[in-house]
Amino acid sequence: MAKYVRSPDRFSQLWLKIVARRLTCLWPDCMGMAMCHSPREVQAPPSALIHPVLYSFRRCPYAIRARLALAISGMACALREVKLSAKPPAMLLASSKGTVPVLVLPDGKVIDESLDIMRWALGSRDPEGWLERDDPQLIAQNDGPFKRDLDRYKYPERHGIDGLAHRESGLAFLWAIDTRLATAGQLCGPLPGLTDAAILPFVRQFAAVDPNWFAAQPLRHLKVWLASHLASELFHMAMIRHALWAPDDPPILFPLP
């Protein structure tokens, strides 16, 4: 994710393939915090979809990691940006969980778990070999204890607890990440992979709660890793702002050129 640990030539070739793929595709109808179930049938007619449809919320870390995997894979989808306080009926029809991301496939199946969306996209096309760098145990630590600490650190008033205690607990996970990054620069070796993309959005959110405090922490390797990914073309692509989706809007194909 920083010049993205790939040569400019490789990135240019990947980008041209994404653009070429886009230009030859038709535009579908569209549909999206994530953890969940295996694919299942939606009630809308499968014939209404040509591309996968992604319901998403720009700042949600689960949605961010799904978009990162879709972007690096070059798997075009129709993106629908939603407001979580006003969830569109079409999204709730696809997934009653009411969380993002939600991916509706052209055959009518639904994937409403962010990691499943990542693995589906990369299983279809994985030009950078991200699936070779998948550490389910480390991702589970991120999605479980670290996410719990993150929520309570960021929103202590919602939980009626001491947020600083959870900041310290979360910091222990960051130190474990920092130690791991000291070895090779990325979480599963010298190149970025699925594990980096799956954990990055949550570390970003943790760091943003109190930027001055985070800046004072001697997490040298983690800070370099975080900054390089946040400055990358891939991350900027995944974080492009889109207007909220409305049913009559023309489709927005993601990733954009």
Sequence-ordered list of residues with C-beta below 8 angstroms from that of 72, at least 6 positions apart, any chain? 122, 127, 128, 130, 197, 234
Apex CA 46: angle with CA 42 and CA 47, to 5°? 160
Residue 109 bridge partners (DSSP): 41
Q: What is the pTM of this model?
A: 0.81
Could you tell me which of 1, 142, 162 has the C-alpha nearest to residue 68? 1
- Alpha carbon 188 to its chain's center: 18
pLDDT, tens only, 112-132: 999 999 999 999 999 999 999
- 34-79 per-position pLDDT tens digit: 333 333 333 334 435 689 999 999 999 999 999 999 999 999 999 9
- Same domain for 42 and 13: yes
- CATH code of residue 209: 1.20.1050.10
Are 14 and 122 found together in one domain? yes
pLDDT tens, residue by residue, 199-239: 999 999 999 999 999 999 999 999 999 999 999 999 999 99
* In a domain? residue 249: yes
Q: Judge residue 44's burial from the number of C-beta atoms within 10 Å of its C-beta, 0-12 exposed, 13-18 middle, 19 or more buried.
A: middle
pLDDT band at 192 (very low <50, low <70, confident <90, very high): very high
Report the CATH number at residue 110.
Answer: 3.40.30.10
| Domain enclosing residue 230, as ranges | 130-234
Same domain, 25 and 61: yes
In a domain, 46, yes or no: yes
Tokens of 158: 């919602």
Q: Residues 112, 215: one domain?
A: no
Instruction: Give the total residue count for the chain.
Output: 257
Statement to judge: residues 65 and 34 lie in one domain: yes
Q: What is the pLDDT of residues 153-182, one digit of tens each?
A: 999 999 999 999 999 999 999 999 999 999
Could you tell me if 116 and 20 lie in one domain? yes
216 and 144 in a common domain: yes
Question: Same domain for 97 and 168?
Answer: no
